[in-house]
Amino acid sequence: MKKKRIYVRKSDIEVGGRGNCFTCPVAMALKRAYKGRSISVQSDSYRVDRGSIKTGAWFPLPETAVRFVRDFDAGRPVKPFSFTTGGE
């Protein structure tokens, strides 16, 4: 996949689900970038499914996104930010 710039918006933070791998702000931002793909986010990685769950792949999150996920899930204040995927 090509490198992509991912933008986590204020609206993602406002409606994102804490501890939810499908609706956290980072997952919502990734879904915008990878239209039509199923996205799942863990504490240090994300999965992009290619058509079915059995054909997906996991990719590492950059440290800024890892910190964001940790802080968001812990209920600490977070701000909108952006990151670049590794071009997997």
Could you tell me which residue, 60 or 87, shows the higher pLDDT? 60
pTM metric for this prediction:
0.91
Give phi and psi for 81, each to the nearest 5.
-160, 175
Q: What digits encode the pLDDT tens for the residues 6-27?
A: 999 999 999 999 999 999 999 9
Read off the amino acid at residue 50. R
